[in-house]
Amino acid sequence: MAQAKIIDGRAIAARLREGVAAAAAGLSERHGIVPGLAAIIVGDDPASQIYVRNKARACGAVGLASFEHVLPAGASEADVLAVVHALDVDERVDGVLVQLPLPVHIDARKIVAAIDPAKDVDGFHPFNIGRLWGGETTLVPCTPQGCMIMLRATLPSLAGAEAVVLGRSHIVGRPLAALLIAADCTVTLVHSKSRKIPAICRRADILIAATGEPAMVKADWIKSGATVIDVGTNRIVAPDGVRLVGDVDFAAAREIAGAITPVPGGAGPMTIACLLQNTVLAACRRRGLADPPQFAA
């Protein structure tokens, strides 16, 4: 059988960012609006700082404003809540995100629940989670949204497909299950207590791995011709240095799957592009403007 088609997340994300840039330019010309994204980081975790700096750069490249609020690791819950409340009422800010994880003395759920749902560009607020499961229009979590865009770019139709999602986290697996249900897939969510995982995976027309277990999904777990999305982003120490690998044994899986995302270059670039898109959507929706035509499903 021929090798799987590579789903090029970088190229799809680049097209999405072009759409965001065009939508942002339209908002600026017609309404004088520059959508703004604010990020809150607590502590000095270098990875979080790099991530937030990359977001600021990505905003600038598509004509969005970005704001960064760095609090010391010892900041109290009240300190963080005060910043969230200030951003909730700041008219320049359309999207508020809190870089997770937060230090253990801060209740992340409380902080996320304080974000104005209209500015919740991560889609983690309980109000937006409820709307997502209700199949209503909402701000959708970025990584799952990126997966859906890649699936739609790959498959002519998702309706009736058997979809298996490995992982049930609040940021990836669960929202993805809601989106796949809304797309008329038949969905199975697998987690660490699931039994017969390889057999469940072999049923999948669409297999999405988000466990954080390097190369967990083997070639013989994959149905011939299936579409495989690998969300996993795992740093491993290999003889040739530190490498980024997914949750799927890519080289072997490529011989069986019909289409597959690489790591890096698949889900990762899509996530940030979807965050930019959500910021523009939030800017429009909270002012009662229609969604930009560039984002039509």
Among positions 66, 99, 128, 143, the unique one binding ligand NDP when judged by CB under 6 A: 143
3-state secondary structure of 218: coil
- The residue within the footprint of ligand NDP, chosen from 192, 225, 236, 255 (CB under 6 A), is 192
Site string for ligand NDP, 159-178 (x = CB under 6 A): -------xxxx-xxx-----
* CB nearer ligand NDP, residue 33 or residue 210: 210
Orientation of helix 173-182 relative to helix 126-133, angle to 10°: 30
Instruction: Using CB under 6 A, pick the residue from 213, 219, 244, 265 that binds ligand NDP.
Output: 213
> Rounded to a whole number, what is the distance in angstroms from the first to the last CA of the chain?
33
CB of residue 183 vs ligand NDP: minimum separation in angstroms? 20
Q: Least Å distance between CB 174 and ligand NDP?
A: 9
Residue 259 or 270: the one with the smaller Cβ distance to ligand NDP is 270
CA–CA dist 28, 41 (Å, integer): 28
CA distances to 39, 97, 107, 108, 216 from 80, rounded to whole Å, are 12, 12, 10, 10, 37
Q: Tell me the C-alpha to C-alpha distance, in Å, between residue 20 and each of 54, 68, 119, 204, 276.
A: 16, 21, 17, 33, 7
- Decide if residue 97 touches ligand NDP (CB under 6 A): no
**Binding residue (CB under 6 A) for ligand NDP from 26, 43, 103, 212:** 212
- Give the angle subtended at the CA of 256 by the CAs of 254 and 258, to the nearest 5°: 80
- Please report, as residue ranges, which positions from 226 to 245 form the binding site for ligand NDP (by CB under 6 A): 231-234
3-state DSSP call for residue 158? coil
Q: Is the dihedral of CA 143, 145, 146, 151 positive or negative?
A: positive
26 versus 188: smaller Cβ distance to ligand NDP: 188
Q: What is the C-alpha to C-alpha distance for residues 206 and 161, in angstroms, rounded to an integer?
A: 7
Of the candidates 149, 141, 100, 147, the one whose C-alpha atom is nearest the C-alpha of residue 123 is: 141
CB of 35 to ligand NDP, least distance (A): 21
Please select the residue that binds ligand NDP; options are 7, 16, 190, 281, rule is CB under 6 A.
190
Binding to ligand NDP (CB under 6 A) within 244-273 occurs at: 267-268, 271
Binding span for ligand NDP by CB under 6 A among 45-53, 67-75, 211-219, 237-245? 211-219
Longest dimension (CA), the chain: 59
Smallest distance from the beta carbon of 142 to ligand NDP, in angstroms?
7
Contact 167, 177 (CB under 8 A): no
Residue nearest ligand NDP, CB atom distance:
169
Q: Which of 48, 145, 154, 211 binds ligand NDP (CB under 6 A)?
A: 211
List interacting residues with ligand NDP (CB under 6 A): 143, 166-169, 171-173, 190-194, 197, 210-213, 216, 231-234, 267-268, 271
